[in-house]
Structure 1
Amino acid sequence: MVRIDDLGLFTRSAALGSFTAAALEADLLPGQVAAAIKRLERELDVRLFARTTRSLRLTAEGEQYLPTAHSVLEALKQGKENLRGENTPLRGVLQVAAPSDLGRNVLLPWLSEFRRQHPQLTLRLVLSDQIADLFRDPVDVAIRYGSNADANYVALPLAPGNRRVLVASPQYIERHGQPSTPQELSAHPCLLYLQNGRVFDKWSLGEQTIQVSGPLFSDDADVVRRWAVEGEGIACKSWLDVSADVKAGRLVVLLPDHPGSASPLSMVCPHRKQISPAVSQLYTWLSSQFSALERV
């Protein structure tokens, strides 16, 4: 008979590409994970992984079986949640992925407060400007900017009216002045970062798209915000990322008559079956917090 724990170790090994990583996550020895996979392979009479000394990958049979394993584990999880009822305290592990800047400077205190309200819940926060693969990465939900047009995901709106804005520090403006038209950005150092794997150097302002450049670039959007606060140049950032800096006077919004492109924020999960009580309550909590931050 297939063991549920073996199924879990199979899915995590497939996602992480390593028995050692799966063992570390589960607080087991690598040999215990390898033994669980061998036990599962004997039960199914197939080989699930192709192993070498340097790599681990799913076989064709492993690829075919992986969705079934996920479905079984999700069904068991959902059944357990249903038995607990709506008023039962949240338990278990909730894994959330978020962009670096938003995660550090906006979400962090909110998630800390949410966890304090649910002390039996374990919260894991993964920060990266790379888009998480919800079917492979160890996350339950992701907080994402963009339209989320992918029909494979369920997108729950958090800040649908959010937009990008141009910002610079008062010190920068005092030294270099500020542009009066989008075209004048070519005379200013612009702060660049990666967006969806590409350098974000084409800024949409009103009905215009302006090619910009600058001497500073980072793969971490939070670094760009910090450079802007330090007076190193002009940044084009989500209002949610810079609203606190603007309100505190650390940054100034430039060219307000040329609004930046829409940048709606959503909570994304693979399918509605994965909207557990913890996910549902987190969504309600974050929605109420973001409603106060959206620009009027």
Structure 2
Amino acid sequence: MKVLQDFSVFIETARQGSITQAANILNITPAAVSATIKRLETQFGCALFIRSTRSIRLTAEGQLMLERCQQAVNAIESGIESVKRDPNQITGHLRLAMPSDLGRNIIIPLLDEFMDLHPKLSISLELSDSLIDLYTRPIDASIRYGMPPDSTMVALPICPDNDRVACASPEYLAKYGTPTHPAELVNHNCINFITLVKYHTKWRFTKQGEKCEVIATGNRFANDGDAVRRWMISGKGIGYKSRLDSQPDIDNGSLVALFEDWQGDKIPLNLVVTDKRQLTPALNSLRDFLREKLVEKT
């Protein structure tokens, strides 16, 4: 970097008070040092040194420029160091987007654990069930269910075998009965997830080649996965959610999985970036960490 080299020559010459000594330390010729000083003086429009036959010393303008150049060199060197890809150092700041329920109840505790392992890393989160535009938002990566709609994006699998599962609370099932076949969902209050453009009311199941698609109806809709979960746990109806989201509540008895001999829609969980060059050591390490931890939960 030419500017960095010129500033370094200027700083060393001021430090040594001698063109010859600066040249020796920098391993260049005295003529090269002189040419650099002259070039900087022309660019700055002022004399940087007062020269005598034996030594040189800074002018008032040179002293001011020395301080500014030292600050600039420090900033440039710090910037260069910060972008070096050191696979042994997980540092920097990650900006992540992820679904609300998954983020709040599953990912955040894992991020805390990951950051304990890498204390020089900082993370900011955007929790939303809306599809975040990675091209226009200042987000490094998104943790998403399903494949990205844009085929130019890079999707790295975290939980490729994740699927949806129908669940309800023990209280709901005790009050309204336990359906034994997906087709019986038409007789139950179903809690549906919605987006700005779509009601996700088609619940699909398969079993040994048999398919069953149900139009789920009910009196509760939400565009937030955590809201659907809360309604399910409080006994308001049956939900159809990611197994990753639901498994902890199934394990602790807050929810009961239905139709376990059927499989719901596949919704793989991926780490998505717009370009593979965004895959820093921190992102790669986080993806590996989440993949290992989340596979244990499904």
Distance (Å, rounded) in 2 between the aligned partners of 1:84 and 1:217? 45
Gaps of 5+ in 1: 1-76
Contact 2:85-2:281 at 8 Å conserved across structures:
no
1:83 corresponds to: 84
Q: Is the 8 A contact 1:78 1:273 kept in 2?
A: no
Number of the residue aligned with 1:236:
240
Asked if structure 2 preserves the Cα contact closer than 8 Å seen for 1:164 and 1:238, the reply is yes
Amino acid at match of 1:105: N
Once the 2 structures are TM-superposed, how far is the Cα of residue 131 of structure 1 from its aligned partner? 0.9
Equivalent residue number for residue 147 of structure 2: 147
Shift of 1:102: 0.3
Q: What residue is the counterpart of 2:297 in the other structure?
A: 293
Does structure 1 residue 226 correspond to structure 2 residue 230? yes
Where do 5+ consecutive residues of structure 2 fail to align? 1-77
Number of residue-to-residue matches in the alignment: 218
Aligned in 2, Cα 1:83/1:258: closer, same or farther, shift over 3 Å?
A: closer
Q: Per-residue displacement from partner, 1:44-84 (whole Å, max 9, x unpaired)? A: xxxxxxxxxxxxxxxxxxxxxxxxxxxxxxxxx99756635
In structure 1, what is the equivalent of residue 109 of structure 2?
A: 109
Quick check: 1:78–1:276 contact (8 Å CA) kept in 2? no
Post-superposition shift, 1:147?
A: 2.7
Question: What fraction of aligned residue pairs are identical, expressed as a percent?
Answer: 38
Contact 1:204–1:261 (CA<8 Å) still a contact in 2? yes
2:280 alignment partner in structure 1: 276
Q: What TM-score, normalized by structure 1, do the two folds share?
A: 0.70
The correspondence of residues 21-40 of structure 1 with structure 2, limited to 5 A, is none
84 and 221 in structure 1: CA distance in 2 versus 1, 3 angstrom threshold: closer
Distance 1:144 1:197 in 2: 18
SS of alignment partner, residue 165 of structure 1: strand
Show the 5 A alignment for 1:199-278: 199-206=199-206, 207-278=211-282
Rounded Cα–Cα distance in structure 2 between residues aligned with 1:123 and 1:99: 16
Q: 2:270 and 2:85 mapped to 1: Cα distance? A: 27
Please give the TM-score of this superposition, normalised by the length of structure 2. 0.69
1:139: how far off?
Answer: 0.9
For 1:83, what is the secondary structure of its paired residue?
Answer: coil
- The question of whether the paired residues in 2 share the 8 Å contact of 1:143 and 1:266 is answered with yes
CA distance in 1, matches of 2:142, 2:192: 24
CA distance in 2, matches of 1:154, 1:79: 26
Measured in 1, the distance between the counterparts of 2:182 and 2:105 equals 28
Matched ranges for 1:2-151 at <5 A: 80=81, 83=84, 85-88=86-89, 90-148=90-148, 150-151=150-151
Change in Cα spacing, 1:163 to 1:196, as seen in structure 2 (3 Å) is: farther
Q: Which residue of 2 aligns with 1:66?
A: none
Following TM superposition, by how much is the alpha carbon of 1:148 offset from its aligned partner in structure 2, in angstroms? Answer: 3.1
SS of equivalent residue, structure 1 residue 267: strand
For 2:29, the equivalent position in structure 1 comes to none
The match for 1:184 is 184
